[in-house]
Structure formats: structure tokens, C-alpha cells
Amino acid sequence: MKTISTLTKNDLTKAFKLEQICHAIPWSKQTFFSNHGNGYLNFKITVDNQLVGFCICHQAFDEAELFNIAIHPNFRKQGLAKDLLNHLIERLITITSPSPITTLWLEVRQSNSPAMRLYQSLGFNQITVRKGYYPTTDGKREDAIIMAYTLAF
């Protein structure tokens, strides 16, 4: 059974382990744990009570930014990331205070075509490219594609 709920402080250790499994260059523990609390709308997705994915979203004024999303490799290609993002978007649409969220932003590695296809399928549009933004495992840099989703309210 699949469930989407708030990523709580008690979930952070398990979610950080998932971060390390899912990303070639994961966030540091300090960065991961600091992206939680006021101003964040973070969710987890569980399958049969096992945490298999999460998303970390920061809200500021009338915008939100998806900082991080991860799905365990054994659970990919099952629509879980799409479910998680749809849940996030639905929640962002309900925010009215201090002001409604009008745009959800994200950046994605240029080489991450599965993620870009997912974002485009949900209605995200490419806005610009941030040259040399991401480090790579071979010591080089990779461009980030900046995408935005306009929330209807």
C-alpha cells in the first residue's frame, strides 16, 4: 500500500540514507537536516510502511522551489515520483497565507532526461539554463535546466 504524508523530523535519518543511495553526489548530512522546519513543505512516500521516496520544497512569499526529490532505485518507474509531485502541487495550491503560491521552481541536471520528461509531463516549462551549476563525479561541471510550473488558483 502506497501512502504520501509529511516528512517529519523522525523520518530524517531514513530519508538521508535514501538521499545517499539515490544521488551520485548527495547532500551533506548538515545540508539535508537543515532543509526542514519552518518554510518547508516536505513529503515522504511509503510503500508497505517502507520509506521509498521524499521531496523537499521551500516556500518563500509567493513562490516555492523543489530543492530535492528522490525515489529508491528499486521503486522507480512505478509513477511514485509523479504521485509525490502531484501531491506537492495540490498542497501548494491550497496555501493562501501569507500569499498564494504562484510558481513552483526546480532545477535538474541536463543529463537527467527521465526527470525532465516527468517534469514536462506535469506541465513544467524550461525557463533557462544555469551553466556549470552541478558538480559531477569526474570533477567537471554540468548545466542545470531551470524549470517552472505555474499554479492555478
- Report which residue type is found at 38: N
Point out the catalytic residue in the list 19, 119, 134, 149: 119
Q: Which three cell numbers stand for residue 45?
A: 512516500
Point out the catalytic residue in the list 19, 107, 134, 149: 107
Q: Which of 24, 32, 27 is nearest to 111 (CA)?
A: 24
Nearest-angstrom CA–CA distance, 23 and 112: 11
Eight-class DSSP state of 27: P
119 in active site = yes
Asked if residue 145 lies in contact with residue 107, where contact means CB atoms within 8 angstroms, the answer is yes
40 in active site = no
Eight-class DSSP state of 73: G
| Beta-ladder partners of 66 | 57, 106
User: Which H helix or E strand runs over 146?
Assistant: strand 141-150
Active site residues: 107, 119
